[in-house]
Amino acid sequence: MPKIVDPAERRQAVADAVLRVAAREGLERASLRNVADEAGLAIGSVRHYFTGSSELMIFAMQELARRIDSRIRTHARTLLDPEGGTDRRAQVEELLTETLPLDAERREESALWLSFVTAARTRPELRSRAAELQAGLDGLIHRVLTEAERSGALAPGLDLAVETRRLSALLDGLTLQAVQHPDLVGPDELRAVLRRHLDTLAGRCPD
């Protein structure tokens, strides 16, 4: 009796293979043939589930975003729950650090994400997805700041639209530097910079 293949599981396995190849050799090496070899499949099997490289790249990008988003949303549910706890500052920090390359898993994900975002500059099929995900993260940051302002945890008179962009840019910049220079920008420094910024938002004057 022939083995029954779950199409969703097979597409997931192929997406995982894309991310492994891209992490090891670069996104430009994630061709249909190389991905098929990585997944242990015939290239015809890959083409059965994906019409071409563009569809495959979009699906792999969505899978990477799903992994990151699932961790962020877990923290967000706790933070934005009225009964989620009293140490809101620590919860905000934990939520935001999920976007930073603080360990091997997040370093690999950050490097992959930067690869996809860079590719999106010249690949229209990726551009709209990258913009959508950036907008989602910015929206979450804005909601977190709005809740902090409502609870009195922010300095008065802040422009939340500007502060959303400033915090988003800080996270992007820290991620880029940590991926490019991991020996110079380590987890402790990433956390220290983020904490200093959060202190500034709260109106504190660090020594």
pTM of the model: 0.86
CB burial readout 61-86, b (16+ within 10 A) else e: bebbbeebbebbeebbeebeeeeeee
Residue the block writes with tokens 């997805």 = 129
User: 1-50 sits in which CATH class?
Assistant: mainly alpha
pLDDT at 6: 79
CB burial readout 162-187, b (16+ within 10 A) else e: ebbebbbeebeebbebbbeeeeebeb
* Burial degree of 115 (CB within 10 A; 0-12, 13-18, 19+): buried
Average pLDDT rounded to a whole number, residues 92-99: 90
Q: Rounded CA gap, 80 and 100, in Å?
A: 21
Question: Is residue 89 pLDDT above 90, yes or no?
Answer: no
Q: Rounded CA gap, 151 and 149, in Å?
A: 5
Contact, 14 vs 44, CB < 8 A?
A: no
Ordered by start, the domain boundaries in the chain are 1-50, 61-201
pLDDT at 1: 44
pLDDT at 101: 95
Of 84-98, 134-148, 186-200, which range is least confident?
A: 84-98
DSSP 8-state symbol, 27: G
Where does the chain show beta strands of DSSP type E? none
Question: Is residue 172 pLDDT above 70, yes or no?
Answer: yes
Q: Rounded CA gap, 88 and 153, in Å?
A: 9
Q: Rounded CA gap, 123 and 126, in Å?
A: 6
Phi/psi at 64 (nearest 5 deg)? -60, -45
- The CATH number of 61-201 is 1.10.357.10
pLDDT at 35: 94
pLDDT at 205: 62
Q: How many residues does the chain have?
A: 207
Residue the block writes with tokens 């938002």 = 201
Q: Rounded CA gap, 67 and 91, in Å?
A: 19
DSSP 8-state symbol, 81: S
Q: Rounded CA gap, 18 and 21, in Å?
A: 5
